[in-house]
Amino acid sequence: MIDLAPPIPAVQTVGLTRTYGALTALNALDLTVNRGDLFGFIGSNGAGKTTTLRILATFLAPSAGQAKILGHDVVKDADAVRHVIGYMPDFFGVYKDMEVTEYLDFFGACYKIPTNQREKTVSDVLELVGLSEKKGALIGALSRGMQQRLGLARVLIHDPQLLLLDEPASGLDPRARIEMMAILQELQRLGKTIIISSHILSELQTLCNRVAIIEKGKLIYSGPVQGVRDQLATGLVVWVKVLGDESRAIELLKARAEITAVEALAGRIKVTMTDHQADAGCVAETLVQGGVKLVGLREEELGLEEVFLRVTRGETQ
């Protein structure tokens, strides 16, 4: 029988700590990101997100602990790490007087991509981020959204396995944000592992398969998006709309042991079940059997924004 070694995570940190004098910006962070993850890194401003990404990108040395990228230590094997990552900071400079292709060709040369390969590489990454029609445009003439996509093209120029993206949709209008998120989903389908920090939690909720929540330098949760919802939800909430007198419906529902609270709110009835895994079908069954005409029933889904508010206190460093 062949004993297969477990797969190497894309990112693994153990006790990762960063201090600035008396200030602890990152406090013993233990984090694992699997290959192929589209991983959301969530936290308020000052929570430690950017510090973590800068350490993983080898721009900042940890004060204690260890971080590995695809098995390479970010301190001892920094050069190897830089060849397998693409880092896009929240603010990055662009040479506004350069043409789009000149800009990417310059960075291709920095990564020592042979001259005879760079033209095709530049064309490929521009196509990937939807900027093929802007090859000859001056960067200064591009919109904010297009400049963000150009920044993403730059970090893709050497075909990295891991992308570290710090607020990539910051400052973008709704359409540009949607386009950026679609590009990230395509990159995940192409096999890239992506860590994205963002404060636009509604987008991370649908974009990411796993998330981590960090506050004041400490990890609060790391795992599947649905996992954090299940862990924090105290009881399933069901919204009901009936025809006729609501008092009869409320009376029937309050008699059920599976239901902990019932209240009428703005023409609807809010029903709170004993736990998040309860069967909402008993609500409809109770009302129909009691002769109440049911015209609407909807389970309330705990969103990522609500989860974030429940588990954090808004504390910063």
Sheet holding 64-69, edge to edge: 23-33, 11-20, 64-69, 72-73
CATH no., domain 11-230: 3.40.50.300
Place of tokens 């079908």: 281
Per domain, the residue ranges of the chain are: 11-230, 234-301
Task: Give CA–CA dist 270/252, Å, rounded.
Answer: 13
What is the model's pLDDT at position 272?
82
Instruction: Name which of 48, 154, 170 is nearest 111 in CA terms.
Output: 154
Q: Residue 66: beta bridge partners?
A: 14
Task: Give CA–CA dist 197/45, Å, rounded.
Answer: 11
What is the model's pLDDT at position 51?
94
What is the model's pLDDT at position 283?
87
What is the model's pLDDT at position 100?
94
User: Kindly report the CA angle at 117 between 114 and 122, in degrees rounded to 5?
Assistant: 115
pTM comes to 0.76
Residues in the chain, total = 317
What is the model's pLDDT at position 45?
79
Q: Please give the DSSP secondary-structure letter assigned to residue 99.
A: B
What is the model's pLDDT at position 192?
95
What is the model's pLDDT at position 3?
54
User: What CATH architecture does domain 234-301 belong to?
Assistant: 2-Layer Sandwich (3.30)
Instruction: Name which of 301, 302, 312, 300 is nearest 212 in CA terms.
Output: 312
Place of tokens 């705990």: 302
Task: Give CA–CA dist 189/180, Å, rounded.
Answer: 15
What is the model's pLDDT at position 316?
45
**What are the mean pLDDT values of the chain's consecutive 10-residue runs (317 residues total)?**
68 95 92 94 86 95 96 95 93 83 94 92 94 92 90 94 91 84 92 87 80 88 74 70 86 86 86 75 87 84 62 54
What is the model's pLDDT at position 260?
84
